[in-house]
Amino acid sequence: MITLKSQPEIETMREAGRIVGLAHEAIAKAIRPGITTLELNAIAEKVIRDHGAIPSFLGYGGFPASICASINNVLVHGIPDHTRLKDGDIISIDIGACYKGYHGDSAWTHAVGEISDEAKNLMKITRESLFVGLQQAKPGNRLGDICHAIGEYVESHGYSVPVDYTGHGIGTEMHEEPAIPNYGKAGRGVLLKEGMTLAIEPMVHAGKPQTRVLQDDWTVVSKDGSLAAHYEHTIVITSTGYEILTVNHFEGGNAL
User: Which residue lies nearer to Mg ion by CB, 14 or 233?
Assistant: 233
3-state SS of 98-150 is EECCEEEEEEEEEECCCCCHHHHHHHHHHHHHHHHHHCCCCCCCEHHHHHHHH
Query: What distance in Å separates the CA atoms of residue 50 and residue 44, rounded to the nearest whole number?
Result: 10
| Residues within window 107-146 making contact with Mg ion, judged by CB under 5 A | 107
Region from 20-28, 128-136, 142-150, 225-233 binding Mg ion, contact rule CB under 5 A? 225-233
Region from 31-39, 44-52, 210-218, 228-236 binding Mg ion, contact rule CB under 5 A? 228-236
| Residues within window 195-214 making contact with Mg ion, judged by CB under 5 A | 199
| Residues within window 91-110 making contact with Mg ion, judged by CB under 5 A | 94, 105, 107
Residue 18, H or E segment: helix 7-30
What would the x/- binding string for Mg ion be over residues 23 to 52, using CB under 5 A? ------------------------------
Region from 83-91, 108-116, 191-199, 205-213 binding Mg ion, contact rule CB under 5 A? 191-199
User: What is the gyration radius of the CA atoms in the chain, in angstroms?
Assistant: 17
User: Which residue lies nearer to Mg ion by CB, 22 or 107?
Assistant: 107
User: Which residue lies nearer to Mg ion by CB, 90 or 199?
Assistant: 199
Query: What distance in Å separates the CA atoms of residue 205 and residue 39, rounded to the nearest whole number?
Result: 26
**Per-residue buried b or exposed e for 39-52, using 16+ beta carbons within 10 Å of the residue's own CB:** ebbebbbebbeebe
Rule CB under 5 A: which residues touch Mg ion? 94, 105, 107, 199, 232
